[in-house]
Amino acid sequence: MSIQIIPKERQATGQFNGGEIIENKPIGFPREGGTTRPYSSLFYWAYAEAKTDSTIGLHPHEGFEIMSFVLKGGIRHYDTKLKEWKSLQAGDAQIIRAGKGIQHAEFMAKGAAMFQIWLDPNLSKTLKQPASYNDYKMDDMPLHEENGISVRTYIGGKSPFVLDAKDIEIKRLEFAKADYKKDISPEKIYSIYILEGNFLINNKEVKTDDFIIISEASEIYISSENKGKIFMVASPAKLDYKTYAEVMRERVQG
């Protein structure tokens, strides 16, 4: 088993509109610092929080699947396919399948927070497809109790969330206290963001805003005497295509 813990101070950083929106990024762009580079089909992961009402103007995307998960407050989304603003609240999610190309804009209300996560679903295929967009309300996502933990399934199981990227699972777990064990697949990588709390994951101490990468493991164990919230993405350890990040690394290395 391999477990990496990347605290907030070792993550990449970013901002928009002179600091109106600030970000810490478990997986950022190389120019932004941070210690973690793309892996599996995960290309980018940012936690963004709005210090005041702020709009990020129209900007383009191609190929990637860009997901937003609203953690606090409200956001709005506009793109050149829908040509209308769509509102989302805490617990809601959206996806842009950027395909051949799309432009979008985002508004975050003061106090809003969200994850934006990019997946590489095999750009050699998706760059030939038309762009598409879906949003999903929190109540669309299955919720169940498991060993005293509340589990919201965003992707996987009976969730309606549709991706081109294969074998992705995304869940949000919340608990008042925990003594939780679950079998997991050693053929997947489990990427975890600690939304709230100080506790143990696989006997390692973690805290709010830590990012954890677990691989080659057959079990996840959470132990806590206090409340906690985590956001977890499971993705394949091996892909049957080269990702954009891998191609770029090969070019740089010559």
* pLDDT more than 70, % of the chain: 100
The string of pLDDT tens digits covering residues 125-160 is: 999 999 999 999 999 999 999 988 999 999 999 999
pLDDT at 252: 80
> What contacts 196, CB < 8 A, 6 or more positions away?
208, 227, 228, 229
What dotted CATH number matches 2-236? 2.60.120.10
State the Cα torsion 86-89-95-101 to the nearest 10°.
Answer: 40
The string of pLDDT tens digits covering residues 105-116 is: 999 999 999 999
CA distance to 186, 208, 234, per residue, from 179 (Å): 21, 18, 21
The structure's pTM equals 0.96
Mean per-residue pLDDT, 183-206: 98
pLDDT at 118: 98
pLDDT at 251: 83
The string of pLDDT tens digits covering residues 220-248 is: 999 999 999 999 999 999 999 999 999 98
pLDDT at 254: 65
On the question of pLDDT at 214 being above 90, the answer is: yes
On the question of pLDDT at 31 being above 90, the answer is: no
Q: How confident is the model at residue 30 (pLDDT cuts 50, 70, 90)?
A: confident
The string of pLDDT tens digits covering residues 41-98 is: 999 999 999 999 999 999 999 999 999 999 999 999 999 988 999 999 999 999 999 9
